[in-house]
Structure 1
């Protein structure tokens, strides 16, 4: 006697299987696309870092040498200037020397920013030092707060550099454009993401500024986040506007950069995720 069980066939079975297969294929395609975005973003970041190293060398070796030669030439003119030379000559030399000092200082700062930072002390140590130097250079009240998370000490060099560069660019934008009095940097960690938050109490960002095409700094920040399966959000925030305020109250800017832990801690496949430091 046949005791096999006959499974009833439903007219809904084939559509359900087809839908599941389509959904699975779509998920695989989405995963491949996200992986490709990460790879292309990592390649863009590598190109940016290579360009930074090249410009830093040119500034140090080329422009630096010319500035040194100019300083010696001005010193020679000052030495050879006759005692009865018009006072305007000495005044002009003083102006030239002050301008040269400013250019030399700006060049040294540019070279320092273009070079990859030392990450031996980890991302927390590197950002703590950078924010201190930023505060001293700009006279902005600057704070840095970092979550106590052991994963931060295990970040590969390229991942730590990505976080550092985003913070660096955000702070430089504050110094250049925000007309702020203070800036705050914070690293928060969750189960799946590391989040870098940079905020200020300046004039905020306009819709035109957020949507402006060709903004190299912003696109670079976005690429660094995307290289580690993350996102970048830049928004304006109101700082305690009074009741009945017409909108003229001070505004601040909030930068939130998210990086996926899985992508950051993953072992890097040669060309795409090798360390970006020189």
Structure 2
């Protein structure tokens, strides 16, 4: 049971007229103070954007470091292991027990799986090529995702010229949120299909990722240590956006009027003004007119 209380911002007006004009002066000071409050809110919002951008930069640096370690360190060790197993297979006597060959076959299959997982991890950790823009990058990623996971996957995108003019850091933010959402579907959702959609309005770019899996509980959304979710939130916040993760409402309405839920809906919103902040000024005006 929620026992928290809400404290009103201002006290109720007195039942009788003020006798000395004090209430009127308080109201006037509140009006005068409102611009300073707005300035403070703007300063805090800018600070949130700055801290979120710094967190995103740190995450990308960590991804690059881990990718190098996987490629140079783990990759080299896996290659050495593969050569060692090939040597054992070559030197194995003809009269060796059949269990030896069977064990080698199991070891080679496991090594193949580890190598494939390592290559996939390195590919995901590296920043994608955005030369074709966010639309091309997401179209390719969702196609690769469908091939790799065998999930029915669709990608639908609004026809908006601003998408072709996104600076690299803004396009990367949208891509990483979609990538993390799809990877979560593959790992946890037990879904049969996943859908990615980009919608645009005058002020916002909205990324919507949905699936038809088992859904997500409140505990799963809020548990500590969920670095994937916090990273998605930071990428949205860095561009004056928000992230919502909830149940996907589908199916017929129940007796209480609500629809049954099946699957998860990720709703990530980014502000155009923040995303196009590094675009040339004249170009931005043309795109937003």
TM over 0.5: yes
In the alignment, does 2:251 pair up with 1:240?
A: yes
Residues 102-251 of structure 1 correspond to what in structure 2 (within 5 A)? 102-240=113-251, 251=262
Could you tell me which residue of structure 2 aligns to residue 4 of structure 1?
Answer: none
Distance 2:60 2:252 in 1: 41
SS at match of 1:234: strand
SS at match of 2:210: strand
Deviations 1:181-222 (A, max 9, x none): 000000000111100000000011111111212210000000
Measure how far apart 1:97 and its partner are.
Answer: 0.1
Could you tell me which residue of structure 2 aligns to residue 263 of structure 1?
Answer: 274
Q: How many residues align?
A: 257
Could you tell me which residue of structure 2 aligns to residue 76 of structure 1?
Answer: 87
* Match for residue 88 of structure 1 among 76, 88, 99: 99
State the TM-score, normalized to the length of structure 1. 0.88
Work out which structure has the larger RCO, using CA pairs closer than 8 Å and 6 or more positions apart in sequence. Answer: 1
With 226-235 and 250-259 compared, the bigger mean Cα shift is at 250-259
Distance 1:18 1:38 in 2: 30
Distance 2:73 2:184 in 1: 27
Could you tell me which residue of structure 2 aligns to residue 271 of structure 1?
Answer: none
Mark the CA change 1:244 to 1:31 in structure 2 (over 3 Å): closer, same or farther: closer
With 170-179 and 234-243 compared, the bigger mean Cα shift is at 234-243
Distance 1:13 1:24 in 2: 19
* Match for residue 66 of structure 1 among 63, 77, 93: 77
Which runs of at least 4 in structure 1 moved beyond 4 Å after TM superposition? Answer: 10-17, 241-245
State the TM-score, normalized to the length of structure 2. 0.85
Measure how far apart 1:239 and its partner are.
Answer: 2.6
* Match for residue 48 of structure 2 among 34, 37, 45: 37
CA contact (8 A) 1:52 1:115 kept: yes
Measure how far apart 1:241 and its partner are.
Answer: 5.1
With 13-22 and 155-164 compared, the bigger mean Cα shift is at 13-22
Distance 1:244 1:78 in 2: 66
CA contact (8 A) 1:156 1:265 kept: yes
Could you tell me which residue of structure 2 aligns to residue 253 of structure 1?
Answer: 264
Mark the CA change 1:265 to 1:75 in structure 2 (over 3 Å): closer, same or farther: same
SS at match of 2:239: coil
Distance 1:213 1:46 in 2: 21
CA contact (8 A) 1:138 1:175 kept: yes
In the alignment, does 2:54 pair up with 1:22?
A: no
> Gaps (5+ residues) in structure 2?
1-20, 280-289
User: What CA RMSD, in Å, does the superposition of the two structures yield over aligned residues?
Assistant: 2.0
